A = this chain, B = another copy of it.
């Protein structure tokens, strides 16, 4: 048996983003695009213990060959089954950027994103392009890796339409969706400088972090001179399922998260709660959504010293299976009226599952797509860890309504601190030959 090669791993699975889009041609591996790469590694023998070691490597590499088309009626990365890893980035446009620069940037980002999502490199390098005297168009660290289910999702901050000082830099102020205003200050918010704002955002999700990082790096590079990275966040583990085919993952409190999340297999709910309908306006946003991002620091050391009974009371679910404390299994609907001994409700009045439940929030739901993060540790030796919350919804009001209720009463607040916040309007998907946000400039 020869060397394993991530690039030569399983056949890619190509998915249609939605019924309206046309399927992408089968994704080429980046390796396939490079004349220089990939030759001469087959057929090398294994040494002592080789067979057993090889088995491990096959299990370990296990690349994701999923390919999601970039073009479509909606942007990918929303109802797409949540990938395992995240690199999220927000950008400021250059002070001297013009409306034409902005359109050109979106056009360039669109073309590059379509290549990246297909598992291809940006451009070519080396002998194939004859460009030894130019910097390689692609930075190269994802050569040989499959598409890994990469999606790139673009959003527009309120500041793109009008700066906080009221400056209409790009002639877009009149086209700002009335709902696209900075989120309100919620009780307990402790927002930190450099963890919000920007003009544009890109959410890169993939099953291989190197693929997500490669995408953000190369899109940043394409923006050079026109827009620069303002803040960014890596997430190592998804905390929500967006498909019934996925097992519910766990957050860093050790609890299953997102059991009641909106799933791609509920198209009526997705239409009702996630996509902006034409009737809501503005027209350029029809088929788009609103993205809320919140960096939620967890004080996990305090949490870890809390007794199990209290942890479960705080969530209103069991820690093992994730079943509501009113009984049943993970997917049993919670019964908030059920009382135990002394007429105390089995699910506490301040329990997270109660306060976040649509029944307590006028039916408001969100499609959650957050990620666990650990960004080193602070000077006291505490892990800088938590949840990078991401949700998509038809209106920011869905988030605000639930968050206001949580911020006031949620028992979980004792163990969390919201330190970053951002809101973006997510335009609909781009059609082939066009670009992200085209209708905004039409």
Instruction: Give A residues with C-beta under 8 Å from B.
Output: 3-7, 10, 13, 15-16, 34-41, 44-50, 52-66, 81, 83-85, 87, 92, 125-126, 131-136, 138-144, 149, 194, 207-210, 213, 217, 220-221, 228-234, 236-237, 243-247, 250-255, 263-267, 300-301, 304-309, 311-312, 318-321, 329-331, 372, 374-377, 379-383, 385
Contact = CB atoms under 8 A, between A and B. Distances in A.
B44 A331 contact: yes
Nearest to A212: B236
A209 B236 contact: yes
A380 B64 CA distance: 34
Copies of this chain, whole number = 2
A209 B232 contact: no
Given A36-B320, A60-B81, A134 B308 contact: yes
A247 B307 contact: no
B66 A60 contact: yes
A136 to B, nearest CB: 5
B213 A374 contact: yes
Contacts of A63: 62
A4 B87 contact: no
Contacts of A34: 320
B307 A132 contact: yes
B381 A244 contact: no
Nearest to A329: B40
Contacts of A221: 301, 304
B319 A41 contact: no
A22 to B, nearest CB: 15
Contact of A375 (B48, B139, B375): B375
Contacts of A207: 59-60, 62
A263 B49 CA distance: 12
Given A36-B321, A246-B57, A377 B136 contact: no
A376 B233 contact: yes
A34 B322 CA distance: 12
A34 to B, nearest CB: 5
